[in-house]
Structure 1
Amino acid sequence: MFGNSRSVLIKVNMDVFVVLLMLSGFCVSTASFPNIYYFISENKTWDEANAYCIMEYTGLAQITNPENNTALMNTSAGGYTGKAWIGLVGPLGWVWLDGTQATYFMWDQEPWASDTGYCGLTTYHGWHSVICEYEWYFICFNGSDYIVNKTRVTWNDAKISCENKNSTLAQILDLLTFDKVRRAFRNNNLDEYEPLWIGLSFSPVWFWSETKQISTFVNWKTGQPNNKNNCAAVLVGNGTWTTEPCSEQHPFFCYGVHKSKKTVLSMNIQTDVDLETPDNQAALMEQLQAALAKQGVTDFKLTWTKQPVQKSRKKTDDACLNV
């Protein structure tokens, strides 16, 4: 977000020019500020609550660090202590080694996985999900080539083996990549039904609806998440989170963010110094920065803009000029 932003209008009493000094807040990470939360007491489904928050604020509450969690708990809920929707959804399910959600699939058989412990295999025809402790051949990618290893190992051992060779288990993000993997089957004379481990695994992670950020800060109630429901709520009484059916109706928390402010200050400066000179401009800027710092204004950026002076017109009398 941004710190406070102020403008200072400097009028130079020399009839030379007018300068406008802009004091703009530096950009700082949003993590530096806790989000602003709003409790909405209406009962809505998760989707209805999310649509309301997007329209009226920013979105359903995003709680990405302890400071956010404290700010939410300090938000007045009118004595309510039950469940309230927050913007956490999931679980993602199938993810690649780099932690990204799998969005392209080429399942030859619908995956069996509904919990951790399942990993992805590919044949020439498509993918399968099996228990990660089974042993199969695997295929690595070194940045340019897909390399088949004909040693039967578990998924985790295949992952380690690829890494030891400065490569990774193959990630198949689109049809073009899958065609390259198929080509590796032909180049290595593999049976088209021979399974190979790829870098796909089932990992039920949760993410924030507005930012799509995977949740790294968590505050689950003991025994949660159960990964049977796809939407999260906060227990307002103690701040812990639970998973709930998205179709249930609960109150909810929206969130907003700190926005920059602008204040205009006008000052008259009398000087005989030529402010057309860059050195004199710089000296004046330094003095202004020092003066503002003494007043506790430190989070700003000072810039100099020259503007033309509009000379006042003398008022003329209502008289006729005799010729």
Structure 2
Amino acid sequence: MWFIYSCLLILLFEFQVSFAAIPVDSSSYAIGRRRYYIGLDKVPCNQAVEICRRKSMRLASIRNERENNDVYRFLSQQNYNGGAFISAKILSYGNAWSWLDGTLVNYFNWNSGEPNGYDETERCVQVFIKKNTLVWDDHSTIVANSYICESMTDDDNIQIDNRIGKKYYLGNEKVTYFGAIQYCEDMYMTLASVRNAEENSALHHLILTKGIKGHRSWISANQRVGSTNWLWLNGSDVEYFNWDQGKPSNEGLGENCITVSEKEQQAKWVDAPCDEKNYAVCEKLDSKKPDSKRNIFLDVKTSDLSLKLNIDRK
């Protein structure tokens, strides 16, 4: 009966994802808690979303007056007086506007007479400076424009290790394993893989630096129910382990994900239930490494099917 129940809850999905990371341009500037970049190569708004993502950024959102003032300051510093896309887009039904993450826009600073819906294609938003403020205007989805990318300036949480060609980022909230995948995706990173002792050492240093001794953090290794093999998110076998003593134990027959924590001056690994809540270790691969298409295999519970990962299903 338990086997049948498990089969009903767990579905195997095959995903394919391609990474084409572009380093954040040196002309990006930190304003407030965000780093902004102005793309002067004019593109349609949907293409701007992808360009920002490839820079490990996102098309900017402006959720309140303070952030509107921040973008105004940024464009003023760049001496830029033209229009530029932000991520607000009108929904296909009604007159509501939403951000990239699906949340509704509840702050606006429309220019006089806007939005006017001049034609059916004006479903995006551009911003521009007018009389010492930043105003909004609805804009066509097919007419090219400049765009503003943003990223959070949480640099204090990022550990850079040039020896391994990776940047590790330690999340600041506890989430499930599947929540950790989404958390890293939202940061335009990926849940970390730890493939050798050097990378494990770098991860240990990050844990010590950020003062989370005694707490567990997710890495991306997972195990299909009923299997003894551990896989990374790209479907490759886990060949390096640094198990804590007596691990993996699979206590309760549901510990199909892996956490790391500081112990004995190392980052020790422990198998854990995937619905347990821990911090997430994200990583950004060295952008100079070759791009690759990756097959992602996951045992996903039906309750986790709402994940909005940046992936294409086969």
TM-based fold match above 0.5: no
TM-score norm. by structure 1 comes to 0.37
Say which one has the larger Rg: 1
TM-score norm. by structure 2 comes to 0.38
Higher relative contact order (CA 8 A, sep 6+): 1
